[in-house]
Amino acid sequence: MNVIECSGLTKVYGSRKAVNDLSFTIAENKITGLIGRNGAGKTTLLKIIAGYYRKSAGKITVFSKNPFNNIQVAEKLIFVDDRMSFPPALALSEILSSAAAFYPHWNKRIADGLLNYFQLEPKEKHQYLSKGMASTFNMIIGLASRCPLTIYDEPTTGMDAAVRKDFYRALLKDYIEQPRTIILSSHLLNEIEDLLEDVLLLRGGSKELQLPIAELKHYAVGLSGREEAFAEFINDVDILHQKQMGNVKYIVVRNNFSESLQKRIGMSGVEMTPVATDDVCVYLTAGNKGGIDDVFHRSE
């Protein structure tokens, strides 16, 4: 069953398309990573899914319903980001008690255990928490709610490395105990890739790709060697990124080689190396194939 289905989804602000003709599906009980650079449309897309924003065009269903301003959809999901707000008069313990009454799958054991583990004072007010501690508390709400659809938009903002690791471990352990559909938007793909089953990569409001994380890990390969060694095959590969380091040329290409092409590469003396998934996403969403180096080459 698909929890989310989008077809031609578009959101326009003035003359700018924040989301541009997006078509994809997200199945139930999977953890999907929503990846993209700043301004790629991630938050806009998530808020359309959550029912906060109305689409400009196209079609979207969440639990087979239009999510915008829909209480039947809202009761099945939670949207967690670093701008969550709570009544200023309520202490953290009171917020948790109120959430328990609102979310039918609320897990008090998880909520109380995490509040104690992260040394959050139950009588403290949310508005007085530091950025990192506020994000930690928001994460607790997201986990303990156990909503069928849980959306995290950059949930680790302000958290230090140790707390981020604890959050990822807590998310995975709770997901294994109670599977549900989770969307995790983050700039830190290298930190979360072991949690993910699928990746949806956005570029300029459009879908660049959607793949299982296992396939993304083999999506591209790095080739390095002396520049003249590339002459035999350079026109037959799909280059995503390239740079020159003295006499050595390095390129990243899509890993879709035919048997004959792979043999030609092997015979050229060029070395093949794996490419990290976060680097693949950076190269796929870059404005040019040379990256930041191109700026300096043009200025010379």
CATH architecture of 2-216: 3-Layer(aba) Sandwich (3.40)
Give pLDDT, residue 267.
87
Residue 35 is encoded by which pair of tokens?
């990846």
Q: Calculate the average pLDDT of the chain.
A: 93
Give pLDDT, residue 247.
84
Mean pLDDT of 20-42: 95
CATH code of the region 220-297: 3.30.70
Mean pLDDT of 66-83: 94
2-216 and 220-297: identical CATH topology: no
Phi-psi region of 41 (alpha: psi -120 to 50; beta: other; left: phi over 0): left
User: Does the structure show a pLDDT above 60 at 299?
Assistant: no
Query: Alpha-carbon distance 25 to 80, whole Å?
Result: 21
What tens digit of pLDDT does each residue of 122-176 get? Answer: 999 999 999 999 999 999 999 999 999 999 999 999 999 999 999 999 999 999 9
Q: Is the dihedral of CA 283, 287, 288, 293 positive or negative?
A: negative
Identify the helix (H) or strand (E) that includes residue 19. Answer: strand 16-27
Radius of gyration of the chain (CA): 22
Give pLDDT, residue 95.
97
User: Does the structure show a pLDDT above 70 at 297?
Assistant: no
Helix ranges restricted to H, the chain: 42-49, 71-74, 92-102, 108-117, 131-145, 161-177, 189-192, 213-216, 259-268, 277-284, 293-299
Q: Are strands 198-203 and 206-212 parallel, antiparallel or unpaired?
A: antiparallel
Question: What are residue 265's phi and psi, to 5 degrees?
Answer: -65, -45
Lowest mean pLDDT among 66-75, 170-179, 288-297: 288-297
Confidence of residue 22 (pLDDT cuts 50, 70, 90): very high
Q: Is the dihedral of CA 236, 202, 32, 283 positive or negative?
A: positive
Give pLDDT, residue 204.
92
What tens digit of pLDDT does each residue of 219-241 get? Answer: 999 999 998 899 889 999 999 99
Q: How close are the terminal C-alpha atoms of the chain, in Å?
A: 55
Angle at 94 between CA 131 and CA 138, to 5 degrees: 30
Query: Alpha-carbon distance 127 to 216, whole Å?
Result: 40
Query: Alpha-carbon distance 285 to 16, whole Å?
Result: 18
Confidence of residue 71 (pLDDT cuts 50, 70, 90): very high
What residue spans define the domains of the chain?
2-216, 220-297
Helix, strand or coil, per DSSP, at residue 3: strand
